[in-house]
């Protein structure tokens, strides 16, 4: 089956969008068109990102914030422009509030170690939700081991929705931080972050949001959300791997001690003592991922040019169509049926293990994710060892869903 | 095509009706084979006497490839010693790595599973029951 779809210019020109992603033209396994449905694991990169990173290495590769020479000045300029793009993406007040990290995981670890650790006493509590990615569980567990604090988990329902009232009732004077995912990678659930932040504020408890799966799909305004920390990864939102950001309010960051020591994060070093650099550099020890940051900035520009309106429109259509068609399949169960959902469909199919489904549909050119999706407590809650998951990006089209469903049918016939 | 070879009748048949499936009463050795990443979780149980495996069984939940591999392995294990299992595990791992090598007669029907060498992501599944078996043999229940 070939990939065809009519253009709908008003909202989004999907074909023009696809043109920007060279990998989508690839053919796999005996010339089958690639159907890339593993966007929640990592999205593809548009030319704009690839070319900007290439351009950096070809024309002005140099270290940042160090040299007086022209290349270093250009590299520093582009690096800081990228930071401003991330600031715009999150509607942050100032670039001083945007710290580049290796990704969401590192951002969470930074907050755990530099913000929360010095404030924790034995018996204090950290509250997270049952649908967190391992990256928003394990750093807190490690912190609990280090300090004697206790990890508490707010429950979810069978649809995969957070029980906000239960969460609210679990907040007490020992609660020192709430960590929650904005959009669940395993279930697709979009959480009511604003509501949780409002509740947390009444108790004076800071909220950290794992936004890795949110920025690819929706406009995020950290000020409107009312959170205290927001963590993102570039590669989920069409940028490169190995770079992400932590946003936190300036007053909080000012109060935090540095996390890692090294170059870049200092203003003066002697053996008697060291003074630390200003925000955000205080938290960026060592030569940063310069090309990554530049690519990250271009990914933000890509999202701005494409527009969230069109992205949401296309993704909602795909989600609706896939859900409708998949629900009609005998023995197929969709895991995660929240009312507010991102473009993710996790599922199990009777008589077919997710691993085998993944291998078989791959042979028909369809790339999907199978396994625990780095959210093993979610698998335990739904009592499944693993799920298969399709996740969409705005460059995906309905016809690809048909190809996937045909391949899924073959998988089922083969394994039956 | 490679996919048909991977999901060939022999393998699918072992998946649909795995041999030696269930708990083993009177087991002397056991180990769990768990691959969290893909969700495979099996229990291998053995009854060893006089230095040889007298009975073998597996239970749990796993993908078709792991299930077929476990089923074939349990069949093969009966009458083998620990050192034989270790030796053939090494040979089997090598066969999965190098499609050019000839089949190994000692492994019998297990040679069918060499079809996974075209699917690097699935080699781990194929070896999981072997690893659990070796682990079981290393410790007394």
CATH number of A14-45+307-415: 3.90.1150.10
| pTM, entire model | 0.92
Query: Could you tell me the residue ranges of all domains in chain A?
Result: 14-45+307-415, 50-305
CB contact A414 to B (< 8 Å): yes
Rg of chain A over all Cα atoms, to the nearest angstrom: 22
CB contact A359 to B (< 8 Å): yes
Nearest to A64 by CA among A91, A47, A87, A83: A83
Contacts of A346 in chain B (CB under 8 A): none
Omega within 30 of 0 (cis) for the link into A280: yes
Q: Do A384 and B39 touch (CB under 8 A)?
A: yes
pLDDT (0 to 100) of residue A122:
97
Residue A130: alpha-carbon gap to chain centroid: 17
For A388, the closest chain B residue by CA position comes to B38
CB-nearest to A356 from B1, B2, B64 is B64
- Beta-carbon neighbour count of residue A171 at 10 Å? 20
**Closest Cα in chain B, distance from residue A386 (Å):** 5
How does residue A32 score in pLDDT terms, banded at 50, 70 and 90? very high
Tokens 């625990």 -> residue:
A372
Architecture of domain A50-305: 3-Layer(aba) Sandwich (3.40)
pLDDT, one tens digit per residue, over B64-121 is 999 999 999 999 999 999 999 999 999 999 999 999 999 999 999 999 999 999 898 8
Q: Is A211 helix (H, G, I), strand (E, B) or coil?
A: coil
Nearest to A306 by CA among A398, A238, A242: A238
**Closest Cα in chain B, distance from residue A402 (Å):** 20
Nearest to A326 by CA among A387, A393, A395: A387
- From residue A61, give the alpha-carbon distance in Å to each of A263, A285, B124: 19, 19, 41
Rg of chain B over all Cα atoms, to the nearest angstrom: 14
| Pairwise CA distance, residues A75 & B29, whole Å | 62
Q: How would DSSP label each residue in B78-95?
A: TT--HHHHHHHHHHHHHH
Q: Do A363 and B37 touch (CB under 8 A)?
A: no
How does residue A225 score in pLDDT terms, banded at 50, 70 and 90? very high
Nearest to A378 by CA among A106, A37, A134, A104: A134
* Token pair recorded at residue A190: 């979009």
| Pairwise CA distance, residues B33 & A214, whole Å | 36
pLDDT (0 to 100) of residue A11:
76
Domains within chain B, CATH numbers bracketed: 2-138 (3.90.1010.10)
CB-nearest to A353 from B1, B6, B64 is B64
Based on the residue annotation, tell me whether A374 is a catalytic residue of this protein: yes
Contacts of A379 in chain B (CB under 8 A): 39
Contacts of A378 in chain B (CB under 8 A): none
Q: Do A385 and B40 touch (CB under 8 A)?
A: yes
């Amino acid at each position: 089956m070939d990939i065809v779809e009519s253009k709908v210019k008003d909202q989004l020109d999907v074909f023009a969008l696809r043109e920007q992603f060279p990998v989508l033209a690839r053919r796999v396994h005996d010339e089958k068109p690639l159907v890339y449905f593993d966007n929640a694991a990592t999205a593809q990169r548009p030319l704009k990102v690839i070319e900007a990173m290439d351009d950096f290495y070809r024309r002005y590769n140099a270290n940042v914030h160090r040299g007086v020479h022209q290349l270093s000045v250009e590299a520093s300029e582009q690096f800081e422009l990228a930071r401003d793009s991330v600031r715009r993406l999150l509607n942050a007040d100032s670039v001083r509030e945007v710290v580049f990290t290796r990704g969401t995981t590192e951002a969470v670890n930074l907050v755990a170690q530099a913000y929360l650790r010095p404030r924790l006493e034995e018996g204090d509590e950290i509250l997270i939700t049952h649908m967190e990615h391992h990256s928003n569980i394990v750093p807190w567990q490690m912190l609990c081991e280090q300090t004697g604090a206790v990890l508490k988990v707010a429950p979810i329902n069978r649809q995969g929705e957070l029980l906000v009232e239960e969460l609210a009732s679990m907040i007490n004077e020992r609660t020192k931080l709430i960590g929650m995912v904005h959009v669940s990678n395993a279930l697709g659930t979009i959480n009511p972050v604003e509501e949780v932040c409002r509740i947390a504020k009444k108790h004076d408890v800071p909220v950290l949001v794992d936004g890795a799966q949110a920025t690819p799909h929706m406009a995020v305004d950290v000020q409107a959300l009312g959170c205290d920390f927001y963590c993102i990864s570039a590669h989920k939102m069409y940028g490169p791997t190995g770079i992400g950001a932590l946003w936190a309010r300036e007053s909080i960051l000012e109060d935090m001690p540095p996390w890692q020591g090294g170059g870049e994060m200092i203003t003066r070093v002697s053996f008697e003592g060291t003074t630390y650099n200003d925000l955000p550099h205080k938290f960026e020890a060592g030569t940063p991922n310069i090309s990554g940051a530049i690519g990250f900035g271009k990914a933000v520009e890509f999202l701005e040019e494409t527009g969230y309106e069109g992205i949401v429109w296309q993704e909602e259509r795909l989600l609706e169509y896939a859900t409708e068609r998949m629900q009609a399949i005998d023995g197929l169960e969709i895991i995660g049926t929240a009312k507010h959902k991102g473009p993710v469909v996790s599922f199990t199919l009777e008589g077919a293990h997710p691993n085998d489904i993944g291998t078989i549909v791959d042979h028909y050119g369809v790339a999907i994710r199978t396994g625990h999706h780095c959210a093993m407590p979610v698998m335990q809650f739904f009592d499944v060892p693993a799920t298969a998951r399709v996740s969409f990006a705005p460059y995906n089209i309905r016809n690809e869903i048909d190809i996937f469903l045909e391949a899924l049918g073959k998988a089922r016939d083969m394994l039956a | 095509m490679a996919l048909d070879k991977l999901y060939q009748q022999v393998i699918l048949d072992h998946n649909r009706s795995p041999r030696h499936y269930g708990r083993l009463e009177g087991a002397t050795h056991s180990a769990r084979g768990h691959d969290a990443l893909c969700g495979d979780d099996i229990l291998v149980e053995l009854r060893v006497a006089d230095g040889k495996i007298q009975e073998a069984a597996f239970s749990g939940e796993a993908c078709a490839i792991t299930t077929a591999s476990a089923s074939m392995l349990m069949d093969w294990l009966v009458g083998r010693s620990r050192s034989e299992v270790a030796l053939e595990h090494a040979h089997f791992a090598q066969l999965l790595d190098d499609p050019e090598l000839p089949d190994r007669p000692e492994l019998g029907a297990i040679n069918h599973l060499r079809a996974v060498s075209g699917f690097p992501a699935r080699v781990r599944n194929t070896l999981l029951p072997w690893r659990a078996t070796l682990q079981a043999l290393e410790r007394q229940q």
